[in-house]
Amino acid sequence: MSRKYFGTDGMRGRVNEGFMTPDVAMRVGLAAGRSFIRGDHVHRVVIGKDTRRSGYMYEPALAAGFVAAGMDVIMVGPMPTPAIAMLVKSLRADLGVMISASHNPHYDNGIKFFGPDGFKLSDEKELEIEHMVDNGVFDALVPSEELGRATRLEDASGRYVEFAKATVPNGLTFDGLKIVVDCANGAAYKVAPTVLWELGAEVISIGVSPNGFNINDKCGSTHPETMCEQVVAHGADLGIALDGDADRLILCDEHGQIVDGDQIMALITRNWHKRGVLRGGGLVTTVMSNLGLERLLTGEGLSLARTKVGDRYVVEHMRKTGMNVGGEQSGHIVLSDFATTGDGLVAALQVLTEIQQSDKPASEACRQFDPVPQLLKNVRYSGGDPLEAASVKASIETAEQALNGSGRLVIRKSGTEPLIRVMAEGDDEGKITALVDAICSEIEAAA
């Protein structure tokens, strides 16, 4: 069955266009509510959102659908995505919903679900909800005496603050550390600075003035240059940049040099291995992670398992194999000892813990390996399937032959935007650039 609404990370699209309308959101809430009502107990759903203006539209639409399905709704307002996953388990809820388009601009929004175990829904469950949305969803309406009700949880942020602090070793503080935190004018604009301050750090907060339209706008993990500039200007020890829903993380060291998800995963994996708490003998990441990371870990007898792009697929592999560290180069870091999904703040706390305990500057602690030259370019297309064009296939085949085992080529469609992502890596940077440019030119011609 083809997917109509759900992509690699829930539903996502332009606000009030296509399927991202209040009507569809209400029907999705009704379908999801009916899908998760089992037995006679009181059923609950936790709904959170980021700071987009459109959240005020989708939140009541979803709530109406859930109430109509007989489910009680607990609204928590702007909260990080991982906080919703945590609260679902904490509140013994049947379902969690996060209204967010993550790192996308304000004019996009999305809806993603967490099951009662705090994990994102499987492809099969999403397809089940999709089918119900378009086929007799109003059959799920309950009699008036069985309607749910909606309430707001006022202390949700405090619960998440305490959860995040508990991931730091007992007795450890960040006294003496000056930290710049960029919250992308998004969901973590209150909780992230609070956690760092309560743990003793001197905090310089940016991206903490959301107005409904400035989320991810020249700030956050997709625009880390703002964080880098502030770190250097303030003489800070580290910079932390989160995205709009705070499930991904990019860092910079005291010199303003970027530390991406691959370096963060390498640091945590090696540190946990030394401490004897790493499970599964390695790391789970995606096809996009740098070859240098793989060489580092395999050289130390650790494994690196690759999945297709999407933190949900990383988590699926972690659950199957019992591994407890995974993530993506883009900054989704999943630490299953603490959370069921990517948590940018919790990952940052692990890095800060290593810096504080080792007494090393961030530039030394976070530089785990020298990346192999890697180039990623995006080509936007308006319709059809350019990857099926004979000229594009020929260009890809030529590139694979040129690499001949000395590098990697990854070409894929984005799961959230009409983009084709072309990535190549290898020891010869000039060759990599030429190969990527050639493939992109053929895709543009065929698009």
What residues are labeled active site? 102
CA distances, 253 to each of 232, 258, 414 (Å)? 9, 7, 30
Contacts of 47 (CB under 8 A, 6+ apart): 59, 62, 63, 66, 73, 74, 75, 76, 96, 97, 99
Task: Please tell me the distance from the alpha carbon of residue 313 to that of residue 8, in angstroms, as a whole number.
Answer: 9
Q: Residue 208, Cβ neighbours under 10 Å: how many?
A: 17
Contacts of 176 (CB under 8 A, 6+ apart): none
Cβ proximity of 100 and 187 under 8 Å? yes
Determine the residue type at 274.
Answer: K
Q: For the chain, what is the radius of gyration of the CA atoms?
A: 22
- Dig out the tokens for 335 from the structure: 């630490």
- DSSP labels for 133-180? HHSSGGGGPPPGGG---EEE-TTHHHHHHHHHHTTSPTT---TT-EEE
CA dihedral angle for residue 220, residue 222, residue 228, residue 229, rounded to 10 degrees:
-80
Cβ proximity of 237 and 355 under 8 Å? yes
Please name every residue paired with 410 in a beta bridge, in sequence order, or none if there are none.
423
